[in-house]
Amino acid sequence: MERRDFTQRILGGAFAALLGVPGVATVLDPARRTAGSRWTDAGAAADVTAEGVKTFSYEVEAGWETRKETGYLVRDGEAIIALSAKCTHLGCKVRFKDDKFVCPCHGGMFSRTGAPEKEPVIEPLVRFVVEIKDGKVRVQT
C-alpha cells in the first residue's frame, strides 16, 4: 500500500466516524433517555370528595414515544393521595367500584388508599407526590 492510499483511507475513516457518531447518538438517544419527574396539574382540590375519586391524566416518556397514563386522586381524611391506575400485578387499568379499586383482569382488589386487599395483587398501587397550591392539586409523576 502506498503512502498516499494509506493517508486517504485514514482521513476517509476519520471523516466517516466524525459524521457517523452524532448520527448514531441521535438515533439511540431516546432509547437511553430516562424521563425525569414532571409535575402535572390534576385539577381543583375541592373536586376530590370524601366519597369518590377523581381521575387525572399524565404523560410518560417511553423511549421514542410519549404515552398518556391515568391516575386517581382520593381523599384520606384531610390529605389527598394520588395513585397510579395501573395494577401492580400485570399492569391492567384498575377501576373504582364499591369504595375499592378493582382489577378487571384477574379480580385483584385494592383499598381506596391503594393497599392490596385481594390476591393476586400483593404490592400497593404506586403513589405519587402531591402538592396543593392555591386550591389546585399538582402531582409529581
Strand partners, 139: 40, 130
Q: What residue spans define the domains of the chain?
A: 1-32, 39-140
d(C-alpha 66, C-alpha 96), whole Å: 26
Q: What is the reported pTM?
A: 0.71
Q: What fold is seen in the domain 39-140?
A: Rieske Iron-sulfur Protein (2.102.10)
Mean pLDDT of the chain: 84
**Which pLDDT value is given to residue 109?**
97
d(C-alpha 25, C-alpha 102), whole Å: 43
pLDDT tens over the chain, length 141 residues: 677 676 777 766 556 555 554 554 444 444 444 445 789 999 999 999 988 899 999 998 888 899 999 999 999 999 999 999 999 999 999 999 999 999 999 999 999 999 999 999 999 999 999 999 999 999 998
**Which pLDDT value is given to residue 79?**
94
Spell out the SS3 assignment of the chain. CCHHHHHHHHHHHHHHHHHHHHHHHHHHHHHHCCCCCCEEEEEEHHHCCCCCEEEEEEEEEECCEEEEEEEEEEEECCEEEEEECECCCCCCECEEECCEEECCCCCCEECCCCCEEECCCCCCCCEEEEEEECCEEEEEC
**Which pLDDT value is given to residue 62?**
80
CB 55 within 8 A of CB 48: no
The x, y and z cell numbers of residue 56, run together, are 387525572
